[in-house]
């Protein structure tokens, strides 16, 4: 069993979208039983809330239902429970590594490390942007999650 955690700032836009995209790709490839997938935020801004309505809407337009997600904050135990801790941007990585036990540093990567087209790009926070920002986030996430599935399916 592989354990994958997606992390953004508030866990209401990027990371729940990545979680939803990745889960659907795993099901499509009949790999779902081999994975535990979750998402979290680096900060407690939105704990207990559903994803941003704009994220839900754009995800649904692409066939991903993230509406049942409930935001949570990254916890110390996550460093030991997850094999991959995939951040959306360099600020997230900096924060994560600031609280991460040294022996778990190798688990923390930028999600787009696995991208074919957007390799090592940051996935921008769409929270303060227009609709285009949410669409762009899904483009980046789909590319990275496809690469991640390929990587894990070797």
User: Catalytic residue numbers?
Assistant: 8, 14, 125
Query: How far, in Å, are 14, 27, 37, 38, 145 from residue 97 at the CA level?
Result: 19, 31, 20, 19, 22
Instruction: Yes or no: say if 27 and 150 are a contact pair by the CB < 8 Å rule.
Output: no
| 4: phi then psi, degrees, rounded to nearest 5 | -125, 130
- The angle at the Cα of 99, spanning 93 to 105, to the nearest 5 degrees, equals 60
């Amino acid at each position: 069993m592989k354990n994958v955690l997606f992390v953004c700032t508030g866990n209401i836009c990027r990371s729940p979208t990545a979680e939803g995209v990745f889960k659907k790709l795993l099901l499509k490839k009949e790999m779902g039983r081999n994975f535990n997938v979750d998402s979290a935020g680096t900060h407690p801004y939105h704990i207990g809330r559903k994803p941003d309505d704009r994220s839900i809407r754009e995800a649904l337009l692409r066939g991903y239902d993230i509406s049942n997600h409930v935001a949570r904050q990254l916890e110390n135990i996550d460093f030991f429970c997850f094999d991959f801790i995939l951040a959306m941007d360099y600020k997230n990585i900096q924060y994560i590594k600031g609280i991460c036990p040294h022996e778990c540093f190798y688990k923390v990567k930028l999600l787009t490390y696995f991208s074919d087209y957007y390799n090592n790009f940051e996935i921008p926070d769409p929270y303060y942007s227009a609709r285009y920002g949410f669409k762009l986030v899904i483009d980046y996430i789909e590319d990275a999650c496809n690469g991640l599935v390929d990587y894990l399916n070797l």
